[in-house]
Structure 1
Amino acid sequence: MCLEFPDDQTAWYLDRQFMVGDSLLAAPIFEESGVVEFYLPKGKWTSFFTNQVREGPGWFKEKHGFGSLPLYVRENTILVLGKLGVKGAVYDYAEDVEVCLYQVKEGASAELVDNEGNALGTLKVNANGELEGKELLKGSWTTSSDGRQVDESYSKTIEWL
């Protein structure tokens, strides 16, 4: 946390949460009750599981059931999620994907790679708020403008406290 948010004094003391890259914040649950308290730095953060938005900086508390945890997406992020139902990590990362936009502004981008890690190109939001680089995507891909297509079963197991 302190590497991604060096100017946030609170981030220097967080040892129970971490960043996954520069766009995802994860806060594992250490209590059997499923209750977890975590910190979100300045900005808008969207729950990966529910698409609910929280505004940081601040401390938040949630209760989670089995199979979820606080996983938040930073504003101005493009996430490219793989084809539903695929098991394993080796598949075509540009085919039948969901392109998820999280409070994006001009310049937001995501690098696409193939299943061997070779660069395919960049998806980028232009000045008109439109996605450039769509020609890199194959199959029946979709775009979600306010987060991802949510599995409603998660919202039943997550409680904001």
Structure 2
Amino acid sequence: MGNKKVTESYLDMMEESLKEKIRVLEDIMKENEAQKEILESDVSFDEAGFDEAISRKGELIRRVENLNDGFESLYERVREELQNNKEKYKQKINTFQDLIRQITDLSSSIEAGEKRNRALAKSYFSSSKEQINTHRRSSQAALDYYLTMNKSKITPPQFYDTKN
């Protein structure tokens, strides 16, 4: 690559990209927590809040993908220079390794949170489905009773004298 200033600039951009990825992953963890709170809430299910958290998380995941692509693109430009001059860039490489460790830890925490939320959602929705089915059965029984009672009113009572 030759030009030291260009290499340094790319390395700085790569470091900033990794730091930004950490910030975005931390935001994803916050969205996971928001989803967890909604799923564990004893009050009524906040469908709008849940959908918003999913939407925000989707946007954050797209940002992570863009950061990954940008990092890869920059790395391709400086890879040879880094591999040929490891001692020269040792401090920057150590910084990258530390940031990547943080990213790996955050990614593991996010994955665990996703699994937990998936289990909570499955439990919540299966419980809701059961409640809906129970409610439907109760409603059907009430409707059957109502229809039966209405039919009995159509039939004139047998003990009334209708002759007047």
Higher-Rg structure is 2
Higher strand share: 1
Higher helix share: 2
TM-score normalised per structure 1: 0.25
Q: Which has the higher contact order (CA 8 A, sep 6+)?
A: 2
TM-score normalised per structure 2: 0.24
